[in-house]
Amino acid sequence: MRPLLQFTSLDRKMPDQRVAAERRRDFREIYEEFDPAAARAQASRCSQCGIPYCQVHCPLSNNIPDWLMLTAEGRLEEAYELAAATNNFPEICGRICPQDRLCEGNCVIEKGFQSVTIGAVERFLTEIAFAKGWVKPPRPARERAATIGIVGAGPAGLAAAEELRRLGYGVHVYDRHDRIGGLLIYGIPNFKLDKEVVARRHRLLEEGGVVFHLGVELGRDVGLDELRRRHEAVLLATGVYRPRPLASPGVALQGVVEALDYLTASNRKGLGEKVPRFDSGVLNAAGRDVVVVGGGDTAMDCVRTAVRQGAKSVRCLYRRDRRNMPGSAREVRHAEEEGVEFVWLAAPEAVRGEGTVREIRAHRMHLGTRDGSGRQAPLPVAASHFTLPAGLVILALGFDAEEWPEGFATELPARDRSGLIKVDHRGLMTSLPRVFAAGDVVRGASLVVWAVRDGRDAAASVHRSLETEASLAAAQ
């Protein structure tokens, strides 16, 4: 008998989680790894649904029931192969996908039983695969003469790079940063995703022949025209980095900072670099009352980073309620365990201080009627003001696409009103021939798993287009 359907006798159990008091003191990841017996047991809870909603709600359509079955049977190498067949970075998604909104949130084990720990099993499989040497660099069956230029070494660009390399293209990845990973390195903190997990992928891609040109900024060091001359196709995977502003008086005071500046400084510090704006205290929460404005993943990473830096107090001000916040429920729970106070249904009105921020004046909100997106609009409650002490205010209100500098290109890809690149949604090609785009720069701020999906789709589309062009040319 197959060792499945154990959910009736076996409770859901995540890998051991470090206690909050200990977590607060360092930036190490908070979950331990499953051991093989625990992974097999948890995988065996799957009921092998005929219509697996977990898979339907995974942006990569991962074949979850099959790799759970193989894990439960102890066939770990096959399980890993299956997990890796649809996902370039299963160990990363297993760590940081908001599973409560995706696969696990749609697991349909019978009512009253908790979902299968899909993400933790996915992570376990990839970690054991690395330990056993099953994870291999991309090795094409044959080399092609054509080369592809990819701008942006975040998850979208890297997934595309790996796929295109497997197909035999010469792959050149350009990034303005000194490390690959995009937000995986400089946005997301170590306690969610250890930097070595990303560095390990860097080494594998290089071993497989992907060429990285780091410290090269499109629009400053090289233009799009030049990249189009150098390569048969170009993929733009540059993400979104323009912070949305807070329209309140006092935002220019010292001590009001942007979330990504704050997180990047902390991540660079963790990587052992000298960071003058951290060392001088500008981007360091130590000993200060911190207020983070916003309710998404970025805000959650800021509050939890501030706790670890030794802030005096950490509050998160969010204009909607817990149920309506965009951040993952799991991250909110972790933040609360670590001592963060959430001030729900509250919005800032003014940041106050003399030269330097001293406090934030806010008012209460209530949720009104639903807007076009189905979300209830937050509305201010009259005469409901209150103040919170604040020595550091971190703005985490989301991101838009950056402006392109003069000289970026003589011919620009079409963009929508918010600056996102317009693509043909089946092929991810922009308005310029052989120029493709993927990830946040197309979708707006989204998720790693969607960036991986886009990168894979863009790679397939680049290949299809070049093959079609070649066969049309041969037929003439």
* Spatial distance between the Cα atoms of 48 and 57, rounded to a whole number of angstroms: 15
Candidate list 38, 39, 58, 185; residue touching ligand SF4; CB under 6 A: 58
| Nearest C-alpha neighbor of 301 from the set 220, 186, 224, 204 | 186
Closest by CA to 144, choosing from 235, 232, 208, 234, is 232
- Helix then strand count (H, E) for the chain reads 17, 15
Of residues 154, 168, 170, 378, which one binds ligand FAD by CB under 6 A? 154
Going by the DSSP 8-state scheme, the letter that residue 252 receives in this structure is T
Among 38, 79, 84, 97, binds ligand SF4 (CB under 6 A): 97
User: Residues 442, 454: contact at Cβ < 8 Å?
Assistant: yes
Cβ 189 to ligand FAD shortest distance, Å: 8
Provide the minimum distance between the beta carbon of 110 and ligand SF4 in the complex, in angstroms, as a whole number.
Answer: 9
Nearer to ligand FAD, 118 or 151 (CB): 151
56 near ligand SF4 (CB under 6 A): no
Q: Is residue 158 a contact residue for ligand SF4 (CB under 6 A)?
A: no
How far apart are alpha carbons 194 and 367 in whole angstroms? 38
CA-wise closest residue to 449 among 203, 164, 151, 183: 183
Q: Least distance in Å: CB of 173 to ligand FAD?
A: 9
399-419: burial string, b at 16+ Cβ within 10 Å, e else: bebeebeeeebeeebebeeee
Residues contacting ligand FAD: total by CB under 6 A: 35
Contact (CB, 8 A) for 159 and 448: no
Q: How far is the CB of 453 from ligand SF4 (least distance, A)?
A: 9
Cα separation of the two ends of the chain: 60
Structure-block tokens of residue 267: 């991540």
Give which of ligand FAD, ligand SF4, none residue 60 binds (C-beta under 5 to 8 Å, depending on kind): ligand SF4
By CB under 6 A, residue 270 contacts ligand FAD: no
**Backbone Cα Rg of the chain:** 23
Q: Give 460's contacts (C-beta < 8 A, 6+ positions apart).
A: 163
- Which of ligand SF4, ligand FAD, none binds 82 (CB below 5-8 Å, type-dependent)? none
Choosing from 69, 120, 188, 388, the residue that interacts with ligand FAD (CB under 6 A) is 188
Structure tokens at 192: 């969610």
The reply to whether 33 sits near ligand FAD by the rule CB under 6 A is no
Cα 406 to chain centroid, rounded: 29
Strands 256-258 and 392-395: parallel
Of 45 and 165, the one with the shorter C-beta distance to ligand FAD is: 165
Binding residue for ligand FAD, selected from 33, 217, 321, 336, defined by CB under 6 A: 217
User: What residue 217 binds from ligand FAD, ligand SF4, none (CB within 5 to 8 A, per partner kind)?
Assistant: ligand FAD
Check binding of 311 to ligand SF4 (CB under 6 A).
Answer: no
Pairing of strands 392-395, 289-293: parallel
Residue 69 or 449: which CB sits closer to ligand FAD? 449
CB 177 within 8 A of CB 186: yes
Strands 399-400 and 392-395, by their bridges, are unpaired
- Scanning 17-25, 47-55, 143-151, 423-431 for contacts with ligand SF4 by CB under 6 A, the matching segment is 47-55
DSSP string, 389-440: E-SEEEE---EEPPPPPTTS-SSPPPB-TTSPBP-BTTTTB-SSTTEEE-TH
Shortest separation between residue 70's beta carbon and ligand FAD, angstroms? 25
Q: Which of 91, 289, 440, 457 binds ligand FAD (CB under 6 A)?
A: 440
Query: Phi/psi class of residue 188: alpha, beta or left (left: φ > 0; alpha: ψ in -120 to 50)?
Result: beta
Among 27, 67, 169, 174, binds ligand FAD (CB under 6 A): 174
Q: At closest approach, how far in Å is the CB of 97 from ligand FAD?
A: 5
User: Dihedral of CA 192/119/206/450: which sign?
Assistant: negative
Two tokens, residue 186: 């400089």
* Stretch touching ligand FAD by CB under 6 A, among 73-81, 152-160, 280-288, 365-373: 152-160
Binding to ligand SF4 by residue 54, rule CB under 6 A?
Answer: yes
Smallest gap from Cβ 360 to ligand FAD, in A, equals 21
Q: Which stretch binds ligand SF4 (CB under 6 A): 98-106, 177-185, 346-354, 406-414?
A: 98-106
**Nearer residue to ligand FAD within complex by CB, 435 or 448:** 448
Contact call for residue 48 and ligand SF4 (CB under 6 A): yes
Which residues make up the interface to ligand FAD (CB under 6 A)?
Answer: 96-97, 151-157, 174-177, 182-183, 187-188, 192, 217-219, 237-239, 263, 297-298, 301, 439-440, 446-449, 451
Which residues make up the interface to ligand SF4 (CB under 6 A)?
Answer: 46-49, 52-54, 58, 60, 62, 64-65, 68, 87, 93-94, 97, 99, 102-103, 107-109, 116, 118-119, 122, 449
